[in-house]
């Protein structure tokens, strides 16, 4: 059984992992709200033609009622750390930048936790208008074919990740999934194994994604259930 770690340590690891990986095309440029809902509407530029509004995207985010008993909304604050993180593999960094770098969108995120020590979930929605959503998903799929692994430093330590595609049911108009496994080196989490399941789906001009991270390995059934509900909510929020 993995050794117990202080809650702040595992939360910091979640921040490290979630900040590295763009969820549904939402990069690390959101500013967190202070309302306790765990929701972080983005300060995006002018709404692209055909894209959903910020209010519609916020409505599309998962809520505590979509989770099994015991989960609660939180604020992992990944956006505050993202600027300090990066991949040592230039190919991986380039693809991460390509997925998260499109500013022509509206977006919002919300984080959840089962406990202060995890597991953790981040749900992100983004709306692009025109063909932006298709490009975002295409770039995301390239992560598994062109980026096999990388190391990132942050929070006094480093994590070496392996990236692999996931086999999953079809979600939305098109979807894809990645599995990231890593091991921390240095700091209080030295030697700790990390695992994340990252699913992204497109619904028309918008995308929704679920990142499920745990030191014990995320429950795939929960990830798929949340992803299915995230797609439903995105469809329901469209005018």
7-237: CATH topology: Protein Transport Mog1p; Chain A (3.40.1000)
User: Looking at residue 23, what DSSP letter applies?
Assistant: B
Rounded average pLDDT per 10-residue block, the chain, 239 residues: 44 56 46 40 55 91 96 74 56 65 73 88 86 85 81 74 88 91 78 85 91 83 95 90
What is the phi/psi pair of residue 107, to 5°? Answer: -160, 160
- What's the pLDDT score for residue 81? 42
- What's the pLDDT score for residue 29? 37
- What's the pLDDT score for residue 63? 97
**9 touches 116 (CB < 8 A):** no
User: Looking at residue 80, what DSSP letter applies?
Assistant: H
**d(Cα 164, Cα 173) in Å, to the nearest integer?**
22
**159 touches 17 (CB < 8 A):** yes
- What's the pLDDT score for residue 84? 42
Domain residue spans in the chain?
A: 7-237
- Cα separations (Å) of 217 from 204, 206, 237? 31, 29, 31
Which of 35, 54, 36, 33 lies closest to 44, judged by CA? 54
- What's the pLDDT score for residue 80? 42
- What's the pLDDT score for residue 61? 95
- What's the pLDDT score for residue 132? 84
Bin 215: left if φ > 0, else alpha if -120 < ψ < 50, else beta.
Answer: alpha
Which of 10, 27, 23 lies closest to 157, judged by CA? 10
- What's the pLDDT score for residue 17? 57
């Amino acid at each position: 059984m993995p050794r117990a770690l202080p809650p702040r340590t595992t939360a910091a690891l979640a921040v490290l992992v979630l900040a590295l990986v763009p969820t549904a095309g939402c990069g690390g440029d959101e500013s967190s709200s202070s309302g306790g809902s765990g929701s972080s509407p983005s300060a995006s530029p002018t709404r692209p033609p055909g894209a959903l509004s910020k209010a519609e995207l916020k409505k599309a985010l998962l809520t505590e009622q979509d989770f099994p008993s015991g989960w609660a909304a939180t604020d992992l604050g990944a956006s505050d750390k993202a600027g300090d993180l990066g991949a040592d593999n230039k190919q991986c960094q380039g693809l991460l930048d390509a997925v998260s770098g499109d500013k022509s969108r509206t977006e919002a995120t919300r984080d959840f936790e089962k406990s202060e020590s995890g597991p953790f979930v981040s749900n992100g929605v983004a709306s692009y208008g025109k063909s932006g959503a298709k490009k975002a998903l295409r770039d995301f799929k390239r992560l598994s074919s062109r980026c096999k692994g990388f190391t990132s430093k942050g929070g006094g330590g480093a994590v070496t990740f392996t990236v692999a595609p996931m086999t999953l049911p079809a979600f939305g108009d098109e979807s894809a999934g990645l599995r990231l496994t890593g091991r921390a080196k240095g700091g209080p989490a030295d030697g700790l194994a990390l695992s994340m399941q990252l699913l992204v789906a497109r619904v028309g001009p918008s995308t929704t994604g679920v990142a499920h991270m745990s030191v014990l390995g995320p429950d795939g059934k929960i990830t798929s259930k949340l992803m299915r509900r995230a797609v439903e909510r995105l469809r329901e929020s469209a005018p």
